Structure 1
Amino acid sequence: MGHPMAIDWDDLKVVLAISREGTLSAAARTLGTTQPTVSRRLDALERRLDAKLFDRDANGLRLTLLGRSLVEGLEQMDAGALSVQRQIAARDTGLSGEILVTSLDWLGDEVIAPMLARFGASHPGLTIELVNDTKVYNLARREADLAFRFGSFAQENLVERRVGNAAYALYASDDYLERHGQPDAANGFEGHRLVLLDRAAGEVPHESWLPALAHRARTVLHANGLRAHLAAVRGGAAMAVLPCFIAGGDCALRRVTVPHPMPVRAVRVGFHVDMRDTPRIRALVDFVVEAFSQVQGRLAPGNDATTADA
């Protein structure tokens, strides 16, 4: 009787990544390698098995019947391995090790980064990494330890905590208002210009009220980042909805009064339930909660706010 076939776990991870991503190039990015390497490892594994795990077509790769059966077992193995990793990480007893934090756009750059820097300065045994990205990191897969987001988290088995509110308002430059005057909601902001988020973003809670109120204003730019909005407003080209934390401290900008409550977005931090009692995670969350309380007046100034996403 022959020996059972030995299969490298790294080859199985390639199969799992391809099944999740759908293409060799996307799987390669996930695995941190190259497309030719992924293709070569898949071909070698299929030769050893003497069977096809994927069918190739114009849209990418689709699992064969054998491939689907194999991936079901791999998903269970991967989930078990990740659970073990989280349990090991959760047994840490000191404020040392690494913490990967994710956030997005201005929230990470302007609010979270200074907080993490102060926390890291007080705990030399920690290495803290902040990644600002619109990608939703999977905390169950330990793609990150902590995530800061607007609104609620959709992932399961997470602990989430509301740490603050971020208010937005309509802003314009002094130069713009001198040339165009104050916008009038009675005539739908006729004669005025706006910068809005890119259309791929869909309906964004802090901006969704503006098109109806300013239905006669002309949108001169769709842009997906705060810096583009700020630059257009500072340059006097248009008005835009901006976070009060940023625009409120800019002496060149003026908040435009509109007959609409100031939209507020809830800021939450989330982490996997297995990491709940990990000292470094617990200490950082407690620190951030206190830090948010100190800047809340700048994040959501005034009392004319309405929560856009609870």
Structure 2
Amino acid sequence: MNWDDLRFVLAVAKHGSLSAAARHLRTTQPTVGRRVAAFEASLGTQIFRRLPGSLALTESGISILERLERIETETLAIERTVSGRDAGAEGVVRVSAAEWFCACVLAPICAELSDAHPGMTIELLGESRRANLARGEADIAFRFVRFEQGEVVQRRLGGLAFGLYAAPAYLNRHHSVDFGAGFKGQVIIAMRRELDAIADLVWLEEIADQASTVLRTDSRQAQAHAAVAGAGLACLPCYIGDNTTGLIRVNTPLPVPAREIWMGIHAEVRNTPRVQAAARILAAGIRKKSSGLEPGGHPPDKNA
């Protein structure tokens, strides 16, 4: 039995299809199909039922899924324990965060990382789905809520301010925003509801319940570009809104909910030299940018 096939099986179980698993694993659909078939052949049982456009676990698959997940967790723990100890600050470090945070905040810091550690390669995983650190999907993750996993070592790096933005052309057409009337006559650009609870989305939908929604997207940068084009009002991180040419911040009678920036590292890789080095420089870089990220009156945790 080839236990390397296990990650392919679990990716299909989690994402529900060969194509989705292939995108997650950054490989091809036929490769995933072959690895799953090989694993099933080695077990002598069918783990998945083939459905139109998807795969579902069979009863056999359901009965062994929890054990397979435990095997994967233990395998990854062994790899984390023995890998990287003697390699120094060299090799690949996988960093997960929201797409806009990767592009606007983390990517520029990678220049400093490259200068300090030329043997290190950073893989930035910009995605709306949260990477599972326990499963080795990333070495370092940045989120805007606390990590719930007990085995994750986390620190708060600062706050994240939000504002309401629009293009001058839009404001000229729609004049002043009537906050007391639920944004009646206004058009908004918002995040998708299917994502996890997002404070600014809840705030916007509560105060703008009379507005029409022209666009929903899980991309903050797409929201900003749509707002620049005059499509509507968008609630954006100030780091994006204030630095996007063509947008004006709209004064709001009530403050837009702020969020926090948390960095998480799985406890078993925290002492790996390359992860330590990357985390140190990324955290310092975020703190340097804190004036453009942090809501007023809430300085970053200097002791974290």
TM-score interval (norm. to shorter)? 0.7 to 0.9
Alpha-carbon distance between aligned partners in 2 of 1:217 and 1:21, rounded to the nearest angstrom:
35
Match of 1:56 among 39, 46, 49: 49
Cα offset for 1:195? 1.3
Which one-letter code corresponds to 1:158 in the other structure? V
Corresponding residue SS for 1:52: coil
Corresponding residue SS for 2:103: helix
What residue in structure 2 maps to residue 266 of structure 1? 260
What residue in structure 2 maps to residue 146 of structure 1? 140
Residue deviations 1:152-207 (CA, integer Å, cap 9, x gap): 22334111111121111111222222332221222332222211122323642122
**How do 1:238-253 residues align onto structure 2 when only pairs under 5 Å count?**
238-253=232-247
CA shift in 2, pair 1:268/1:91, >3 Å: same
What residue in structure 1 maps to residue 153 of structure 2? 159
Corresponding residue SS for 1:274: coil
- The number of residues matched between the two structures is 297
Corresponding residue SS for 2:201: coil
Alpha-carbon distance between aligned partners in 1 of 2:280 and 2:182, rounded to the nearest angstrom:
45
Normalising by structure 1, what TM-score? 0.81
Residue deviations 1:87-107 (CA, integer Å, cap 9, x gap): 012523622222111111211
Decide whether the 8 Å contact of 2:162 with 2:237 is kept in 1. Answer: yes
Alpha-carbon distance between aligned partners in 2 of 1:71 and 1:208, rounded to the nearest angstrom:
35
Decide whether the 8 Å contact of 1:11 with 1:45 is kept in 2. Answer: yes
Cα offset for 1:109? 0.4
Corresponding residue SS for 1:95: coil
Cα offset for 1:34? 5.1
Decide whether the 8 Å contact of 2:161 with 2:259 is kept in 1. Answer: yes
Q: Which runs of 5+ in 2 are unaligned?
A: 300-304
In the alignment, does 2:222 pair up with 1:222?
no
**How do 1:1-310 residues align onto structure 2 when only pairs under 5 Å count?**
7-10=1-4, 18-26=12-20, 51-54=44-47, 56=49, 58=51, 60-65=55-60, 74-92=68-86, 94-201=88-195, 203-300=197-294, 302-303=296-297
| Structure 1 range deviating more: 104-113 or 245-254 | 245-254
Alpha-carbon distance between aligned partners in 1 of 2:246 and 2:24, rounded to the nearest angstrom:
43
Alpha-carbon distance between aligned partners in 1 of 2:236 and 2:66, rounded to the nearest angstrom:
46
Alpha-carbon distance between aligned partners in 2 of 1:146 and 1:270, rounded to the nearest angstrom:
6
Corresponding residue SS for 1:110: helix
Decide whether the 8 Å contact of 1:90 with 1:277 is kept in 2. Answer: no
Alpha-carbon distance between aligned partners in 1 of 2:25 and 2:211, rounded to the nearest angstrom:
47
| Structure 1 range deviating more: 52-61 or 272-281 | 52-61
Cα offset for 1:68? 5.6
CA shift in 2, pair 1:253/1:272, >3 Å: same
Cα offset for 1:216? 2.6
Decide whether the 8 Å contact of 1:15 with 1:71 is kept in 2. Answer: no
| Structure 1 range deviating more: 106-115 or 271-280 | 271-280
Decide whether the 8 Å contact of 1:163 with 1:288 is kept in 2. Answer: no
Residue deviations 1:209-246 (CA, integer Å, cap 9, x gap): 12222233222222332233222221223111111112
Alpha-carbon distance between aligned partners in 2 of 1:271 and 1:32, rounded to the nearest angstrom:
22
Cα offset for 1:81? 1.9
Corresponding residue SS for 1:207: helix
Answer with 1 or 2: which has the greater Rg: 1
Alpha-carbon distance between aligned partners in 1 of 2:21 and 2:287, rounded to the nearest angstrom:
41
CA shift in 2, pair 1:302/1:14, >3 Å: closer
Residue deviations 1:39-97 (CA, integer Å, cap 9, x gap): 56666676676x533363646343344x5666565444433321110001252362222
Alpha-carbon distance between aligned partners in 1 of 2:250 and 2:185, rounded to the nearest angstrom:
15
Normalising by structure 2, what TM-score? 0.82
Fraction of identical pairs, as percent = 38
